[in-house]
């Protein structure tokens, strides 16, 4: 992934949009960037919890960034990332 792509994704992640809107915008961006050999991601809906958990663990996003997702989704990601309140 190149610096330009990283900056674009950072801009999306730090925008004031709803967390779920940011997630789907990133998913759309990743799908369009898949032809770039430097971008590898599995963005199937069935991988959403895995992807969100990985973003949390990599400090790309925080639990607070998940506002807009269902409470169930937030709790699953917290459990998978081993985050306690």
Residue 28 lies in a domain: yes
85 in a domain, yes or no? no
* Domain, as residue range, for 24: 3-80
pLDDT digit string (tens) for the chain, length 85 residues: 444 566 788 888 888 888 889 889 888 887 777 655 445 566 788 889 988 888 888 788 899 999 999 999 999 999 999 988 7
How far apart are alpha carbons 44 and 46 in whole angstroms? 5
The reply to whether 16 falls in a domain is yes
Contact 69, 55 (CB under 8 A): no
The pair of structure tokens assigned to 74 is 């937030």
Q: Quick check: is 54 in a domain?
A: yes
Global pTM value: 0.54
Structural domains in the chain (count): 1
Q: What gap in Å lies between CA 6 and CA 84, rounded to an integer?
A: 29
């Amino acid at each position: 992934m190149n610096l330009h792509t990283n900056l674009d994704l950072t801009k999306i992640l730090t925008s004031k949009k709803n967390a779920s809107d940011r997630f789907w915008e990133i998913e759309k961006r990743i799908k369009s960037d898949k032809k770039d050999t430097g971008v590898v991601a599995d963005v199937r809906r069935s991988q959403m919890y895995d992807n969100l958990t990985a973003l949390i663990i990599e400090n790309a996003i925080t639990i607070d960034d998940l506002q807009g997702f269902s409470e169930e989704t937030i709790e699953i990601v917290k459990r998978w990332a081993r985050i306690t309140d």
